Chains A and B, each alone.
Chain A
Amino acid sequence: MALVQQIQLQRDPGARSQIARRVTGSPALQLVGRRLLTAIPVLLGVTFLTFVVMNLIPGNPAQLILGINASPQAIAKLDAQLGLDHPFWDRYWIWLDGLLHGNLGIAYSNQQSVNSIIAQYLPTTCWLLLYALVGALVLGIIVAVLAARRPNGIFDRISLAVSMIGLSFAPYALALCVGWLFAVKLGWFHIIDNSLGNNPITAIKNLTLPAVSIGFGLFSVYSRLLRADIIEQMEREDYIVTAKAKGVAPWRVLVVHATKNSLFTLITLVALNLGTLIGAVAIIEPIFSLPGIGAELINAININDLPLIEGIVVVFALVTVAGNLIADLLYTVLDPRIRYGRSAS
């Protein structure tokens, strides 16, 4: 699969070769340290790019806030207040400094701190993403294993067809179609006025359709990749033949031997897809009127609230980078070849 190879290549090819070195400290720690180091320029780059792009907007923000009829003195005053009269690099440094201290600035629109706005809307988004991700993973693994049991069998073909649809369905279109089917036609859910409410049941009910809209695509990607990987293990790997030669039952060979080893690829894929996962909320939340960060981002864009946009975008990007990092670390911890290094005797 092209995807698997791309994943394996995108993992830093140099890192693995470092492992063979016998230095003080476990090789796993070495890899962790190296990864953290390479992440730093990326994080810096992310903040820089966000700042640059946001500040390219033509027109003076102060003017945008005050309106066309504002007097030059009022604009100048607001400029100074917002710190817009400083040169570019100063502004970047001030912002970055604030960022490093956890302060994302003040929103133009309502003068609230960006931090507090994000904090307010973050929980909903987190629950939504968790729901979508867990659902997609669990279903994806189950379907992949069942499909790999009998490649090209009926279940396999059906699962491939379904996942092909999932891969091709635009999330916003899916959201509306699913919304129409289940909320309008069948009346099982609502698609307006959704908040998490106070009890978990309402929360689950309100989050299901949005989670499905995001999760269906994810499920499709996961199940396809895992299925392909498992089948490849079963057909090409010698240790599978050894297991069969031992007399181990086919299900056990499939699950304990092949699937376990394929899960590594899946973890990497989940991490790489984190960006898509997070980005999807920007469009799904407004559709279902969920009070989450994605909806806030769209609002902010519509009213040109720069600090808020900046803040949210940076948080998105940083979380994606952090997610990739964590997945790399997980890989290190789980793969015994990396954890224990080589110790030939």
Chain B
Amino acid sequence: MSPTIHAEGALLEVEDLRVAFAVGGREVRAVDGISYAVEPGRTLAIIGESGSGKTVGCRAIMGLLPTGTQVSGSARLRGTELIGLSDAQLRKHRGSDMAMVFQDPARSLNPTMKVGKQITEAIQTHRKVGKTEAREQAIELLRLVRIPAPERRFHEYPHQLSGGMRQRVVIAIALACQPKLLIADEATTALDVTTQAQIMELLLELQHDMDMALIFISHDLGLAASYADEVVVMYAGKIVEQAPAKQLFGAGGTVKMRYTRALLDAIPHLERPAHTELPVVTGRPPDPTSLPVGCSFAPRCPSAADDCTAKAPVLTEHAPGHRWACWHPCENGGAA
């Protein structure tokens, strides 16, 4: 019997979400049974390499996957089941209760539509407001995301704005109807480091002000360490480690899963002696059409043993609030 994950007061509960699609005659299990929950006002970081299924999972929740994709499992937003809803029903939630910010602001905005219009469109899709009022709300939103001279920017086109400003516009669009859940899919990857920090700070401030739940998807563990409350690490479509950020990264941090450990070790540290070889994770992510039996990470894991390749470890809560899926987890600390 599958136990349900019931978190009291959770905003989003995802349970055993699976996404599969067919590519060139083979089945790809992009997401292979993931479960997590997010509360209002909390930040969840989903970390993983490309192809780990982190983006696909969230798009499945939003209903933004192409037709022909099969989704099963459960994703409940404030108790409302999202998986299995028709597109028309899902649309009511998209942009109003839950919103998404994407990676490349240069391409996420319609190049031939004025910035202001793109925001008012988001407003007027869900609320019955007149043109003037929508315009005022849009300008307020631009102000909220700290764009200077919002009244002027309202009438400009995306290419007239810098990268950082464009991303702020995308955030403004996402916030147009005060969503309870904001998903940021690699929202800062395409920006330079300074802008990255600014955008992350902005997101967190807005989250705090609007009491939103924030999920941010990234491959950058550093971001997770700095900004997240809870971290989920994904590999080959499954969750391999899940814990509050402090437990993973804080002093005396207890990273258990080998993969997470490897990701952490691959971040250059100032404290390491000069010219130490950077321990990168060897190998490549597995081919999603032919996943190995047993632990998906085993081919690349330095401590893989026979039982790792024989049987896949199951995600288990071995310590309070901390789950991992590994037969031979790291001992405490264990920095390289």
Measuring CB to CB, which residues of chain A are less than 8 angstroms from any residue of chain B?
235, 237-239, 241-250, 257, 260-261, 335-337, 340, 342-345
Contact = CB atoms under 8 A, between A and B. Distances in A.
A246 B107 contact: no
Contacts, number: 87
Contacts of B108: 238-239, 241-242
Given A245-B62, A246-B121, A248-B121, A239 B109 contact: yes
A247 B125 contact: yes
B297 interface: no
Interface residues of B, number: 36
Given A245-B64, A246-B94, A261-B111, A337 B157 contact: yes
B162 A337 contact: no
B95 A247 contact: yes
A247 B110 contact: no
B220 interface: no
B160 A344 contact: yes
Given A260-B112, A345-B160, 17 more contacts: A239-B108, A239-B111, A241-B64, A241-B102, A242-B108, A242-B173, A243-B110, A244-B64, A245-B64, A245-B102, A246-B121, A247-B96, A249-B91, A257-B110, A337-B111, A337-B112, A337-B157
Contacts of B64: 241, 244-245
B221 interface: no
A15 to B, nearest CB: 17
Contacts of B91: 247-249
Report the 9 A-B pairs with minimum CB-CB distance, sorted nearest first. Answer: A247-B95, A238-B107, A247-B94, A246-B95, A246-B122, A239-B110, A336-B157, A242-B108, A245-B100
Contact of A261 (B62, B110, B161, B165): B110
Contacts of A345: 160-162, 165
B207 to A, nearest CB: 18
23 contacts: A235-B66, A238-B108, A239-B111, A241-B64, A242-B109, A242-B173, A245-B94, A245-B102, A245-B174, A246-B121, A246-B173, A247-B91, A247-B93, A247-B96, A247-B122, A247-B125, A248-B95, A260-B112, A260-B113, A261-B110, A336-B112, A337-B111, A344-B162
Given A247-B125, A344-B162, A238 B104 contact: yes
B87 A250 contact: yes
Contacts of B161: 344-345
A244 to B, nearest CB: 6
A246 B87 contact: no
A244 B174 CA distance: 11
Interface of B: 62, 64, 66, 87, 91-96, 99-100, 102, 104, 107-113, 121-122, 125-126, 156-157, 159-162, 165, 170, 173-174, 176
Nearest to A334: B112
Contacts of B94: 244-247
B92 A247 contact: yes
Contacts of B107: 237-239
Contacts of A246: 94-95, 99, 121-122, 125, 173, 176
Contacts of B110: 239, 242-243, 257, 261
A237 B158 CA distance: 15
A337 B162 CA distance: 14
B64 to A, nearest CB: 6
